[in-house]
Every structure is written in structure tokens, then in C-alpha cells.
Structure 1
């Protein structure tokens, strides 16, 4: 039997998940990554996406995350998410609110950072990632 890793997913409101798992697929800002037991110590930022837990107590589970950090440390993986919820709890209303917030961030960045592409590009990427996540879960915003 493969080694398990302790996985904890925490949002500002609550602990969303705490299970022993075989692998965690993390939507990293620099690309998706899979972390398993004995993974090299790593800290990465998250992009909006679906975090997948394989081999947890109830089988495979998926969670919606919208940013934050993941800390991988051999036998433990902790994700501190800006927002996190089980995929099954995501409603069209939740998703539309998240997209609206991302659109507002982009509009404010365009207004505040005229001729400064960095912050505007970051805000556009946030919106793009949010829309892509919606497409993947069947709640497309457009």
C-alpha cells in the first residue's frame, strides 16, 4: 500500500477538509502539480481552480479554490485558500458572484494602473482562470 499524506484545506471561515490521502492535485499559479507522500518541501501560490484529493477517506474528492498558498512538507500538505468549498456545494449563484468579483478587480486595475501592464495582466489572468474553472465544472460564465 502506498504511503498516505495528511491533507488539510483551510479557508478564512473554516477547515474545509482534513483527510489522509494518496495524492493531491493542486492548481498552482505556475501550473498544476501533484503532491504525494515524501514530496520535496515546497510552497506555491494557487490560482482559481479545482483541487483534487485522491484516496481520501470517502474516495476521491474535489474542492473549488480561488487563490492562496499550498505548503507541501513530506508527510503533510496544507492548503490555505482565499476561498474554498467542496465542488458539490458550488452553485451557479456562487460562481457568478466570484466572476463578478474578478471582473470588478480587472476594471479597477485598468482604471488605477493606466499604462502599467503588470497589475492589469494579473487581474485579467484571475478572470481568465475563473472562467476556465467554470467551464470545467459546467458553470460557464459566458
Structure 2
């Protein structure tokens, strides 16, 4: 069995999760990243997506995040998200509003900003598909 490590996910509104876990998959800016005990120290930005958490005591959580950053160090993993909520708390109306805002950002952006806005829109569309919302 894999060894556990401390994981904390915080948004500006609340502490979403603080537990010992055996594995966390995060939507890092360069692709999905799996973190386990003794992972190399890393800091990365987090894009919109789903965080998959395997708890040390059993069970799994899926958490929607929309931006932020993750810090992996000797003390575990800290994920500071701009927005975070358990996936079962995310409803189709909330996600539709985020998609609408992302599309509006694409419509007004130019140059590199348009590329970044399109990536965010694509990430949110992927969340919608993954959660069947």
C-alpha cells in the first residue's frame, strides 16, 4: 500500500480539504500531474479542471478547481485555488455561467491573450464533459 502524505486544498472562501492522502492528480498547467509521497519539490500553476484525491483511509474525492497554484514540498502538497468546490456541489448552471464568461473573454481577447482564453474555455468544456453536466 502506498504511503500517505498531508494534502491541503484551500480557496479564498474556505478550507476545502485537509487530509492524509496517498495520491492526488492535479490539472497542472503543463498537463495532469500525479503527486505521491516523496514527490520531488515542485511549484506549478493549476488550470481549470478536476483534482482527484485518494484518501489514506479509503475513499476518493473529485474537486473542481478554477485556477491557482500547487506547492509540493517535504511537508506534503498544498493547493491554493482561486475557486474550489467538491464536484458534486458543482451544478450545470454554475458551470454554464463559467463557460459563458470564458467565451466572452475569448470574444474580446486579442493575440496571446486570445490563445490563453481559448485554453481556459477548452479546459472548462472538458470539465463539463467529464462530469456530464
Tell me which interval the TM-score lies in, with the shorter structure as reference length: over 0.9
Which aligned pairs between 1:51-70 and structure 2 lie closer than 5 A? 51-57=51-57, 59-70=59-70
1:134 has 2:125 as partner: no
**SS at the partner of 2:41?**
strand
Cα contact 1:37–1:75 (8 A) shared by 2? no
TM-score (norm 1): 0.88
| Superimposed CA distance per residue, residues 56-78 of structure 1 (whole angstroms, 9 cap, x where no aligned partner) | 44611110011110111134100
| Superimposed CA distance per residue, residues 94-128 of structure 1 (whole angstroms, 9 cap, x where no aligned partner) | 1111111211221231xxx3xxx211100011101
- Counterpart residue number, 1:18: 18
Distance 1:75 1:2, change over 3 A: farther
Cα separation, 2, equivalents of 1:106 and 1:32: 24
Cα contact 1:38–1:75 (8 A) shared by 2? no
TM-score (norm 2): 0.94
Cα contact 1:4–1:75 (8 A) shared by 2? no
Q: Highest CA radius of gyration, 1 or 2?
A: 1
1:122 has 2:97 as partner: no
Q: CA RMSD in A?
A: 1.3
Which runs of 5 or more structure 2 residues have no equivalent in the other structure? none
Cα separation, 2, equivalents of 1:80 and 1:67: 9
What is the aligned length?
133
Moved over 2 A (4+): 55-58
